[in-house]
């Protein structure tokens, strides 16, 4: 085993599949043969006409551009808040009930609808009444069921009608698709992907993640399942972890011979991946894979969200930053898990132990960015995994001079494309 370094080197969805029970295998039409199948498109988009497609494409581009411009501001605002905030704010009680509806009466000084329980700036506020005021709400763009050869087609599906768990499926449109030459051969890797957003914001359907997955799938020639998991505080952890496991089970079930994903994807090459909080979710899913016997080929953690009570080598010792990250972790899990719980600190307080022995995959890739507050923890994770009893390969990729999840907003930059190509090489490696 080795560590290789490179530098910089909606929820308005209806049930769109006829599945009487969660995780039941689903038969879909071919994206190439029937690219506009109405059961695979969000209902709000079903009434679009061909005439409006050009206008919609322009709107999508504008939304993506807006997200690209605003994302660095959000990241910098969050960092400034971490550095300046010294007061400790207690997390919500696990028994809190939440509402996203505004108060119907003018607030008073004793009104719990106006008393802040937790301020997760700049994303949201939780009031003592349980009301959630979301201040950052990403735009939603539709899937792209039609694409030219060399691009990627996408469809939205509900994976579990009981919880509302949904996903956007991506398929590369290969050159032979236009000629009607049938399914790809050999079969393609299947990537189950989890978006970032501190467990409280963002969406698999946002312009940011649609653009990223669309490019990744087309460039890598892989199949992707981008998961729309439930967010805190309305659904505190472990809800996102449960959704991740459900999505992986769904992908595995539908990759069996004779099922839709198996027409395009290789069930022996299922990968888990995610950025930031999504990387944390992917890691915890991989550990569950090891305990429950589902087969996963590899794991990609991009700038993963891990933390702990004591700083690791190279990590900030600023008490305000550390206290704020600890309190926000308590918020997203409703106080159920401490900051050294394996969910957020896989290495534990000592950084040693055999925590990686149960990792259910053959290889792991960790990417970090030099100016990211989570960089040192990502490096420690990769190095600790090697000592933890993990029998597979560990690859560490570092980008100099960049901040957290920079590749999402600098997708066309040289550094971003190098990192994306490194991820592609890792996934497509035999």
pLDDT for residue 119: 97
> pLDDT at residue 25 above 80?
no
Q: What is the mean pLDDT of residues 89-117?
A: 60
Q: Is residue 43 part of a domain?
A: no
> pLDDT at residue 44 above 60?
no
Q: What is the mean pLDDT of residues 196-206?
A: 98
> pLDDT at residue 408 above 70?
yes
Q: Which of 322-331, 347-356, 370-379 has the lowest mean pLDDT?
A: 347-356
Model pTM? 0.78
Q: What is the mean pLDDT of residues 42-70?
A: 39
User: Mind listing the pLDDT tens digit for each residue in 247-284?
Assistant: 999 999 999 988 989 999 999 999 999 999 999 999 99
Q: What is the mean pLDDT of residues 185-213?
A: 97
* Residue ranges in 5-146 assigned as alpha helix (H): 50-84
pLDDT band at 189 (very low <50, low <70, confident <90, very high): very high
Q: Which of 14-18, 289-293, 405-409 has the lowest mean pLDDT?
A: 14-18
Instruction: Tell which wins on pLDDT, 25 or 292.
Output: 292
Q: How many domains does the chain have?
A: 1
Tokens 């994302």 label which residue?
71
Mean pLDDT of the chain: 80
CA distance 341 to 319: 20
Q: What is the mean pLDDT of residues 119-146?
A: 96
> pLDDT at residue 48 above 80?
no
> Looking at the annotation, which residues are catalytic?
276, 372, 404
Tokens 């159920």 label which residue?
336
> pLDDT at residue 53 above 70?
no
> pLDDT at residue 24 above 80?
no
> pLDDT at residue 28 above 80?
no
Q: What is the mean pLDDT of residues 14-37?
A: 36
Cβ neighbourhood burial of 248 (10 Å; 0-12, 13-18, 19+): buried
Q: Is residue 161 part of a domain?
A: yes
pLDDT for residue 244: 98
Any idea what the CATH number is for the domain that residue 235 is in?
3.40.50.1820
- Domain coverage including residue 219: 3-14+139-428
pLDDT band at 86 (very low <50, low <70, confident <90, very high): very low
pLDDT for residue 180: 52
Q: Is residue 117 part of a domain?
A: no
Q: Is residue 232 part of a domain?
A: yes
CA distance 403 to 370: 7
User: Mind listing the pLDDT tens digit for each residue in 335-374?
Assistant: 999 999 999 999 987 667 788 888 999 999 999 999 999 9
Q: Is residue 149 part of a domain?
A: yes
Count the helices and strands in the chain (H runs, E runs): 8, 12
> pLDDT at residue 38 above 90?
no
pLDDT for residue 7: 36
> pLDDT at residue 313 above 90?
yes
* Residue ranges in 196-346 assigned as alpha helix (H): 207-220, 239-254, 260-264, 277-292, 319-332
Q: Is residue 236 part of a domain?
A: yes
pLDDT for residue 51: 37
pLDDT band at 414 (very low <50, low <70, confident <90, very high): very high
Q: What single-letter DSSP state applies at residue 408?
A: G
Q: Is residue 410 part of a domain?
A: yes
Query: Bridge partners of 300?
Result: 273, 365
pLDDT for residue 182: 60
Q: Is residue 376 part of a domain?
A: yes
In the chain, % of residues over pLDDT 70: 72
């Amino acid at each position: 085993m080795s560590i290789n370094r490179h530098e910089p080197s909606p929820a308005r969805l209806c049930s769109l599949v006829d599945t009487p029970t969660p995780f039941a295998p689903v038969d879909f039409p071919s994206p190439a043969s029937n690219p506009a199948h109405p059961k695979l498109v969000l209902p709000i988009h079903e009434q679009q006409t061909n005439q409006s497609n050009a206008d919609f494409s322009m709107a999508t581009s504008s939304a993506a551009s807006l997200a690209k411009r605003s994302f660095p501001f959000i990241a910098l605002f969050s960092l400034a808040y971490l550095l300046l905030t010294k007061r400790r704010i207690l997390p919500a009680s696990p028994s809190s009930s939440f509402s996203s509806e505004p108060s119907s009466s003018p607030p008073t000084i004793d009104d719990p609808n106006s008393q802040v329980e937790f301020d997760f700036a700049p994303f949201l506020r939780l009031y003592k009444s349980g009301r959630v005021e979301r201040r950052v709400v990403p735009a939603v763009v539709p899937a792209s069921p039609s694409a030219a050869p060399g691009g990627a087609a996408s469809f939205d599906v509900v994976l579990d009608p009981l919880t509302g768990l949904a996903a956007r499926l991506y398929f590369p449109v290969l050159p032979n698709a236009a000629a009607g030459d049938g399914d790809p051969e050999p079969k393609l890797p299947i990537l189950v992907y989890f978006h970032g957003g501190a467990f409280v914001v963002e969406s698999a359907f946002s312009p940011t993640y649609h653009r990223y997955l669309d490019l990744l799938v087309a460039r890598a020639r892989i199949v992707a399942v981008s998961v729309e998991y439930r967010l805190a505080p309305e659904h505190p952890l472990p809800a996102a972890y449960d959704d991740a496991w459900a999505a992986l089970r769904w992908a595995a079930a539908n990759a069996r011979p004779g099922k839709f994903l198996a027409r395009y994807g290789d069930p022996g090459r299922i990968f888990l991946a995610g950025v930031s909080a999504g990387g944390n979710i992917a890691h915890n899913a991989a550990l569950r894979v090891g305990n429950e016997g589902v087969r996963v080929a590899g794991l990609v953690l991009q700038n993963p969200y891990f933390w702990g009570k004591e700083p690791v080598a190279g990590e900030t010792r600023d008490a305000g930053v550390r206290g704020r990250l600890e309190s926000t972790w308590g918020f997203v899990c409703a106080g159920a898990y401490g900051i050294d719980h394996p969910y957020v600190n896989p290495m534990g307080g000592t950084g040693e132990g055999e925590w990686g022995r149960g990792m259910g995959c053959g290889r792991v890739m960790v990417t970090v960015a030099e100016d990211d507050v989570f960089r040192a923890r990502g490096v420690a994770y990769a190095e600790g995994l090697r000592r933890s009893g993990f029998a597979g390969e560990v690859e560490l990729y570092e980008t100099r001079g960049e901040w957290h999840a920079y590749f999402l907003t600098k997708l066309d930059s040289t550094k971003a494309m190098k990192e994306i190509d490194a991820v592609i090489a890792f996934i497509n490696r035999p």
